[in-house]
Homo-oligomer: A and B are copies of this chain.
Amino acid sequence: MPVNARDRLLANAEELFYAEGIRAVGIERILAQSGVGRASLYRHFPSKDDLVVAVLEARDRRWRNWLAERVEALGGHPLAVFDALAERFAHNDFRGCAFINTMIESADPDSPAHRVAAAHKEHVVDYLEQLLTGADVPEPALQARQFALLMDGAIVTALRERTPAPADRARRLAETLLAAGSPAP
């Protein structure tokens, strides 16, 4: 557990928001679980929305770093992103993608939280394109979007079925996609 009140708030708010949703978690719950005084929260964050944005930005950085490291450790092939996802799905506190959830909960596309979530997904697509380019896959920009669609589909399906299997199914789809694209240029 972090020592700062600020870091404790960020950690506990992220956990609660991810597990139950942003709107479903009140300020009081966060304060109680963090052991932080009410005033301390508003010293660090002007409003709940600002706390939400800070939580999402931190999670964005951490999640993308995790993915890159995990793909690297699994051999660096683009298909490894699905193996990384499978690891996530296996955790019993898996509750889907925090950023998809945020875009759905914060419906207004112009809201700060929604913007951060949308930006996260764009960054992931950029990473995928760079990964596919490095693997000499033709049309990496288009294939990156296909991969992202498969990843989000796997995430939503895993949330629904409560099993890591969708990661493998998405991986198989991506394999046939790469196999179909390569041999006929």
- Say whether A173 contacts B169, CB under 8 Å: no
Which residues of the partner chain B approach A24 to less than 8 Å between Cβ atoms? 23, 105, 107
Across-interface contacts of A179 in B (CB, < 8 A): 180
A107 touching B21, Cβ below 8 Å: yes
- Known A-B contacts A19-B107, A105-B105, A153-B152; the reply to A146 vs B160 at CB < 8 A is no
B159 touches A145 (CB 8 A): no
Q: A21-B107, A105-B104 are in contact. Are A152 and B157 (CB under 8 A)?
A: yes
The stretch of A51-59, A70-78, A95-103 that contacts the partner chain: A95-103
Q: Which 8 pairs of residues, A with B, have the shortest CB-CB distance?
A: A153-B153, A149-B153, A176-B180, A152-B156, A23-B23, A101-B104, A149-B157, A152-B153
Taking the closest CB of chain B, its distance from the CB of A155, in whole angstroms, is 8
For the complex formed, measure the closest distance between the CB of A85 and the CB atoms of chain B, giving whole angstroms. Answer: 12
User: A104 contacts which chain B residues (CB < 8 A)?
Assistant: 21, 96, 100-101, 104-105, 159
